[in-house]
Structure 1
Amino acid sequence: MSEIASIHGMRVWDSRGNPTIEVEVTLADGSTGRAIAPAGASRGTREAVDLRDGGTALRGMGVQKALDGIARHVAPALRGLDGLDQGAVDAALIDADASALKENLGGNAMVATSLAVLHAAADHAGKPLWRHVADSYDRAPKLPLPEIQIFGGGAHAGGRVDIQDFMIMVPGAASFDEVMEITNEVYFAAGDIMAQRGKLAGVADEGGWWPQFDSNEEALETLVAAIEKAGEKPGDRVVISLDIAASEFGTDGKYRLSLEDRDLDSAGMVDMLGRWIDSYPIASIEDPLGEDDPKGMAEFTRRFGGRVQIIGDDYLVTNADLVREAATQGACNAALIKVNQAGTVSESIACFDAAVKQGWGAIVSARSGETEDVSISHLSTGLGCGQLKVGSFTRSERMVKWNECLRIQRDLGKDSFVQGAPLAQTWWGKQES
């Protein structure tokens, strides 16, 4: 009685006020699952493509074409398949689209459907989603170490600063709940400092403070000051994580820092970030070079891979083949896992497994256009991936995911929190071991 009986899509709205897709899947025994597709602002050129209506209505962001595809193609292709066989369901989805980047049916339609099937299977099994994922894929569930934005920048803040995310991690916390407490103190300390300096201007796409800095490095200086104002010693329990999102301001190994009115080549970017690593308690850097700059990424990894976590996002786009290729090039030592970037649950887990096989870290991540969907809180826990990146410490589409982790902690126990283990390869992990 676990066959897929029906699939229905409907239009809902994301955190930026744009249309998106919710899919509900019902199995033959009445078990149901529901999931919503997120959307990214900073997007890799090789990730799954959302299908939008174009035209003038809703600024071209409508999703009726994608909804029509669910009714005409997705539902007939999946109806009758075993909802417990995620691999077969996702393979049928991929066959139904038959395009490299899911542009025919739309990555938005496919990811909402794939996740909804996973939820329906968990409902059929009578288990919370994290437990169903752990049991289905033979994993040891662990509460992840959060990566939380304090200042938003880049595409998340109208390009006000070049660097996309200035974040903190609390690997020295003893529980997920303690991470939330410390982050609360740092987040509001940062807001107080900006207000005192006359630089408080609201919040960015993901809930971090909207940057009003005169240089990119001023954000780092302010973040260190916020950690100290919160009563913490920078680099002790609290460390810094950056998402450079270099593809947003770099092409062919040339990088334009608009805020500072200067240009850098690949070597210059590596050197600048290296100086930051030497000067600030940075334990993780995402996309330090552009997706079209493999030599630069390899050089950055060669020089700093033994000191910091180097994450590929736009560089890897949740693609197992690209993870393996990057490993042969000596580029990156961790992969960001975004289900909508791949398009299906199975492809995302394949990328996660490829990263683990390389001895890399893996970080399950939200997108800048988010919703009340909490799937990634369960995926990160059920896979035991160790890290979760959701955005900031405000806005309900972010907090709903952090709060879901607290509920999971209640069921799984505080001892299930990974603490600083995922950062074992960084300077922080080495000094703690």
Structure 2
Amino acid sequence: MDPTLQSQIDQAMIDLDKTEKKAELGANAILAVSIAACKAGAAEKEVPLYRHIADLFGKASPMLPVPAFTVISGGKHAGNNLAIQEIMILPTGASRFVEALQMGTETYHHLKAVITEKYGTHDCNVGESGGFAPNVSSFREALDLVKEAIRRAGYTDKIKIALDVAATNFCIGTRYDLDFKSPQKSGQNFLSAEDMVELYRELCTDFPIVSIEDPFDKEDWEHIKRFSSTGICQVVGDDFLMSNSKRIERAILEYACNALLLKINQVGTVTEVIEVVKQAKEAHWGVVTSHRCGETIDSFIADLAVGLSVGQIKAGAPCRGERLEKYIQLLRIEEELGDQAVYCGEDWKQ
């Protein structure tokens, strides 16, 4: 088949699979072929991969996304007692991607020094995505560390904070167990959904938090709608949406959140990825192109983020080769674009 005809190739695999959830061939296998075809299509046209993706998307002006660097890991990604999965920093005040990478990297290393001073070098181990995993006792304690690192790096007004709560992991019934990783404490620190709403309000007031991912259980539509309606911050759906077009459609109709976490293996083909991004953008949502656990050094999502002109990319800490390769590819793209390179910066929500 002609590798430039991405939609035809993807449809051929879907037709061959014949199941609703790609259960016959497997979504991972289909995605691998779809990505390979996309790369081959770019090679056939003799254009960079991000240009080819932009053509498939129908947008002629690629943009460099704001990176969401993981700096503290918790939840199921780390061996500490922190319930939330990740604390990230967004260099929205940078003028170029190369500056954003510098700001994120410097803050990351200042954070290592802050953690070492307070807890010792043994708490500087990193989690799955490269974020530090100090054994902090609360959300606020972890956020204080990040705020201090940003201050020391000199970027107080240029770096914002994002949370990946992954609340489904510690939701028990209708309550949230903030001590779920500490068997000796579990059950003593439960919060209701209403308590969680108030907690998020307080944290967004006291810290420069601009985005919260999966703040409630993935089936708690009531409270995620209520929280989104406050307009306090960007509310991102990951487990809540699963990059599923039907769930995205419902969320749009019910004003349940205002940003999509895009995990391409939850979708299955490049063509379907493009369609769900169009769906999100038509609703004026933000889009966060995301890595996964068990990443390789493949940098496809970097080209994808630029080609689709999404405002944010989440690829882990500025640490570990499989995470860094995405950021390095974005540096290459910015250098190649030269004067035509546009960094989303303050327009990161697009």
TM-score band by shorter chain is over 0.9
Note if 1:138 corresponds to 2:58.
Answer: yes
CA distance in 2: counterparts of 1:222 and 1:97, whole angstroms: 49
Give 1:2-401 correspondences, 5 Å limit.
3=1, 82-139=2-59, 140-158=61-79, 160-199=81-120, 200-233=123-156, 236-258=157-179, 261-303=188-230, 306-401=231-326
Post-superposition CA distance 1:9-58 (Å, at most 9, x none) = xxxxxxxxxxxxxxxxxxxxxxxxxxxxxxxxxxxxxxxxxxxxxxxxxx
CA distance in 2: counterparts of 1:422 and 1:167, whole angstroms: 14
Moved over 6 A (4+): none
Q: 1:101 to 1:211 in 2, by over 3 A?
A: farther
CA contact (8 A) 1:253 1:296 kept: no
Instruction: Report the counterpart of residue 427 of structure 1 in structure 2.
Output: none
CA distance in 1: counterparts of 2:347 and 2:70, whole angstroms: 20
Give 1:420-431 correspondences, 5 Å limit.
420-423=346-349
Other structure's SS at 1:394 match: coil
Post-superposition CA distance 1:293-350 (Å, at most 9, x none) = 01011011012xx231111111111122211100111211111111111111111111
Query: How far did residue 423 of structure 1 move?
Result: 3.6
Post-superposition CA distance 1:139-194 (Å, at most 9, x none) = 12011111110011112114631100100001110110111111111101111111
Other structure's SS at 1:385 match: coil
Query: Which structure has the greater CA radius of gyration?
Result: 1
CA distance in 1: counterparts of 2:291 and 2:198, whole angstroms: 30
Overall identity of the aligned pairs, in %: 36
Amino acid at match of 2:15: D
Amino acid at match of 2:142: A
Amino acid at match of 2:286: G
Amino acid at match of 2:32: A
Amino acid at match of 1:312: G
Return the structure number with greater relative CO, CA threshold 8 A, min gap 6.
2
Other structure's SS at 1:135 match: helix
What is the TM-score of this pair, normalised by structure 2? 0.93
CA distance in 2: counterparts of 1:396 and 1:84, whole angstroms: 30
Further displaced range: 192-201 or 140-149? 192-201
CA distance in 1: counterparts of 2:112 and 2:38, whole angstroms: 39
CA distance in 2: counterparts of 1:362 and 1:105, whole angstroms: 28
Query: How far did residue 251 of structure 1 move?
Result: 4.4
Other structure's SS at 2:140 match: helix
Post-superposition CA distance 1:329-383 (Å, at most 9, x none) = 1211111111111111111111111111111111111112100111000000011
Query: How far did residue 211 of structure 1 move?
Result: 2.7
CA contact (8 A) 2:164 2:212 kept: yes
CA contact (8 A) 2:112 2:124 kept: no
Which consecutive unaligned segments of at least 5 residues does structure 2 have? none
Query: How far did residue 101 of structure 1 move?
Result: 2.8
Q: 1:344 to 1:181 in 2, by over 3 A?
A: same
CA distance in 1: counterparts of 2:38 and 2:49, whole angstroms: 8
Quote the RMSD (CA, aligned, Å).
1.5
Query: How far did residue 252 of structure 1 move?
Result: 4.3
Instruction: Report the counterpart of residue 42 of structure 1 in structure 2.
Output: none
Other structure's SS at 2:345 match: coil
What is the TM-score of this pair, normalised by structure 1? 0.76
Larger strand share, 1 or 2: 1
CA contact (8 A) 2:50 2:303 kept: yes
Instruction: Report the counterpart of residue 14 of structure 1 in structure 2.
Output: none
CA contact (8 A) 2:212 2:233 kept: yes
Which consecutive unaligned segments of at least 5 residues does structure 1 have? 4-81, 425-433
Task: Give the number of equivalent residue pairs.
Answer: 340
